[in-house]
Structure 1
Amino acid sequence: MRVVKGIVGIVAAIIVLAVGWLFVAPPELIRVGSGYSAKIVCSNTFLTERDPQEVLETDVQAPGHPLLRIMRVSVDRTTGIVRAGLFGMFGKGTALYREGLGCAAVPDGDVEAARGRPAPLPPEADEPGEGLWPEGSEVMPLEDGELYAVLNDEALTGPGMRAVVVVKDGRIIGERYGEGFDETTRLLGWSMTKTVTSALIGRLVRDGRLSLDEAGLFDNWTDGRSEITLADLLGMASDLTWNEGYGDVSDVTRMLYLEPDMAAFAASMPLDTETPGGIGEVFEYSSGTSVILSRLWQNAFEDETEALAYPRAALFDPLGMTSAVLETDEHGTFVGSSYLYATARDWARIGQFLLQRGVWNGRSLLPVGYVDWMVEPHPASGGDYGRGHVWRRASNAWLPGDNPELPADAFFLSGHDGQSVSVVPSENLVVVRMGLTPTALGYKPAFLVEALIETLGRPQ
Structure 2
Amino acid sequence: MRLVLIMLKLIVAIVLLGVLVFSVWLTFIPPNGLLSATAYAAKMVCSNVFIAKRDADAVIMTDVAFALPRVVKRLNINIDNANQRVEVAFRGLFAKRYAQYEEERGCTLVSKGEIPDRAAPPSPSAMSDALWPAGERVQLSEDKRLLAALNDPALQGPGMRAIVVVQDGRIIGETYGEGFNASTPLQGWSMTKTVNAVLAGMAIKDGKLSLDRKNLFPQWAGDARADISVADLMAMTSGLQWSEDGDSPDPDGLENLANDAAAFARDRPLAASPGTKFNYSGGSSVLLARLWQNAVGANARAYPQERLFKPLGMTSAVLEADPSGTFLGEAFLFASAHDWVRFGEFLRLNGEWNGAQLLPPAFVDYMRSPVPASDEGHGPVYGRGQLWLGPGQGFRLPADTFMLQGHLRQVIAIIPSRKLVILRMGLTREDIGYSVAKLLYAIVAACRSNK
Whether the TM-score (by the shorter chain) exceeds 0.5 is: yes
Map of 2:431 onto structure 1: 440
- Structure 1 letter corresponding to 2:384: R
Unaligned runs of 5+ in 2: none
Q: Which residue of 2 aligns with 1:280?
A: 275
> Who is 1:389 aligned against?
386
2:238 aligned residue:
238
State the one-letter code of the partner of 2:42. Answer: A
Secondary structure (helix, strand or coil) at the match of 2:165 reads: strand
The reply to whether residue 176 of structure 1 matches residue 175 of structure 2 is yes
**Segment of structure 1 superposing worse, 121-130 or 318-327:** 121-130
The superposition leaves residues 98-122 of structure 1 with CA deviations (integer Å, 9 ceiling, x where unpaired) of 111000123xx2552x726xx9996
Structure 1 equivalent of residue 369 of structure 2: 376
Whether the 8 Å contact between 2:242 and 2:248 is mirrored in structure 1 is: no
TM-score (normalizing by structure 2) = 0.94
**Aligned residues of 2:390 and 2:400 also touching (Cα < 8 A):** no
What SS class does the counterpart of residue 243 from structure 1 fall into?
A: coil
**Relative to 1, partners in 2 of residues 1:124 and 1:372: Cα closer, same or farther, differing over 3 Å?**
farther
Amino acid at match of 2:416: P
Aligned 1:41-440 pairs, distance under 5 A = 41-106=45-110, 109=111, 112=114, 115=116, 126-222=125-221, 223-246=223-246, 250-272=249-271, 277-303=272-298, 306-382=299-375, 383-393=380-390, 404-440=395-431
Displacement after TM superposition at 1:333 (Å): 0.9
Contact 2:390 2:397 (8 Å CA) reproduced? no
Is the partner of 2:173 in helix, strand or coil?
Answer: strand
For 2:58 and 2:337, the matched residues in 1 are separated by 21
Is the Cα–Cα contact under 8 Å of residues 95 and 103 in structure 1 kept in the other structure?
A: yes
Residue type of the partner of 2:302? A
Shift of the 423–187 alpha-carbon distance from structure 1 to 2, 3 Å rule, reads same
Structure 2 CA distance for partners of 1:99 and 1:25, relative to 1, 3 Å: same
Whether the aligned pair in 1 keeps the contact of 2:203 and 2:296 (CA below 8 Å) is no
Return the offset for 1:393: 4.2
Instruction: State the alpha-carbon separation in 2 of the partners of residues 237 and 257 from structure 1.
Output: 25
Q: Which residue is 2:32 aligned to?
A: 28
In structure 2, relative to structure 1, the CA distance for the partners of 1:376 and 1:243 (3 Å cut) is: same
- 1:452 is aligned to 443
- Are the structure 2 counterparts of residues 404 and 191 from structure 1 closer, same or farther at C-alpha, using a change threshold of 3 Å? closer
Please give the alpha-carbon distance, in whole angstroms, between the structure 2 residues aligned to 1:38 and 1:14: 29
Post-superposition offset of 1:300: 1.4
User: Which deviates further from its counterpart, 37-46 or 438-447?
Assistant: 438-447
Match of 1:5 in 2: 9
Q: In structure 2, do the counterparts of structure 1 residues 393 and 370 end up closer, same or farther at CA, with 3 Å as the change threshold?
A: same
Preserved contact between residue 128 and residue 322 of structure 1 (Cα < 8 Å):
no
SS at match of 1:423: strand
Whether the 8 Å contact between 1:167 and 1:431 is mirrored in structure 2 is yes
Distance 1:452 1:51 in 2: 32
Partner residue of 1:400?
none
TM (norm. structure 1) is: 0.92
Distance 2:381 2:122 in 1: 37
Mark the runs of 5 or more structure 1 residues left unpaired by the alignment.
398-402
Shift of 1:69: 4.4
Q: RMSD over aligned Cα, in angstroms?
A: 2.0
Following superposition, the deviation at residue 249 of structure 1 comes to 8.2
